[in-house]
Every structure is written in structure tokens, then in C-alpha cells.
Amino acid sequence: MALTSIAPVINQYGVTVSTYSEIVEHLKEKYREIYGQDVYLENDSQDGQWIGVIARVIADCNAVVSDVYNSMSPST
């Protein structure tokens, strides 16, 4: 799935959040648009680790948004 945004989406169907893996791939794609396709972004590189940290923060924030949204639902 190609992400257009890493932000949570709230619509008439509820809340949808990206997974950690989707966020990592999205950030790597954006990083490569800036620095070129040959940049090394695996987990054993500093840049790859930084992307992983940022992706974890975003995924955790998205999970909080999802939890808060779901806690407001009368069906839960």
C-alpha cells in the first residue's frame, strides 16, 4: 500500500492508522527522494536506525490517536 500520509485518518468508517512497517517504508521512500536511490538505509546504518526511531514515535502517537478515538465510541 502506497501511503500518501503517515497521519491517522478519521472518516465515517472510523480511524485508520499506518503500521510501523508502513511508516518505515514511507520514510525511507521520502529519504531517498532527497538523498538519492543509492543511500543505504538498512537497520545497521545510522540513518536506518534514525528512521526506525522516528517511525516508532509516529506509530506510537498514531496508536494513541486510535485508542482515544475508540474510547469515545459507545460500542466499545
Question: pLDDT above 70 covers what percent of the chain?
Answer: 92
Distances (CA, A) of 69 to 1, 5, 44, 60, 72: 23, 19, 36, 14, 5
pLDDT of residue 4: 74
**pTM to 2 decimals?**
0.86
Q: In this structure, how many other beta carbons lie within 10 angstroms of the beta carbon of residue 72?
A: 8
Low-confidence ranges of the chain (pLDDT < 70): 1-3, 73, 75-76
Sorted by where each begins, the domain ranges of the chain are 20-71
pLDDT of residue 75: 67
